[in-house]
């Protein structure tokens, strides 16, 4: 199993400030955990062989369009 990027609480705090978000010190460990978990899952997608997968519409046509 691959491991995701090593992101610290300080990294998350800095990104939040740049984005104009405030994260309380009490919430910072949980936010760091969730962001790290998300990035781990996204990294797993990089390993998928999608060469033979057919493309699909992200937004299906609306009726009458």
Q: Does 2 have pLDDT greater than 60?
A: no
pLDDT above 50 for 11? yes
Distance, in Å, from the CA atom of 37 to the CA atom of 29, rounded to the nearest integer, reads 12
Interhelix angle for 9-18 vs 28-46, to 10°?
Answer: 90
Could you report the per-residue pLDDT of 12-60, keeping only the tens digit for each? Answer: 999 999 999 999 999 999 999 999 999 999 998 888 888 898 888 788 7
DSSP string covering the chain, please? --------HHHHHHHHHHTT----TTTHHHHHHHHHHHHHHHHHHHT---TTPPP--SSPPPTT-
pTM here? 0.67
């Amino acid at each position: 199993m691959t491991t995701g990027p090593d992101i610290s609480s300080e990294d998350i705090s800095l990104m939040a400030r740049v984005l104009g978000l405030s994260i309380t010190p009490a919430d910072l460990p949980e936010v760091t955990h969730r962001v790290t978990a998300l990035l781990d899952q996204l990294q797993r997608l990089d390993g998928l062989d999608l060469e033979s997968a057919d493309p699909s519409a992200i937004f299906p046509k609306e009726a009458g369009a």
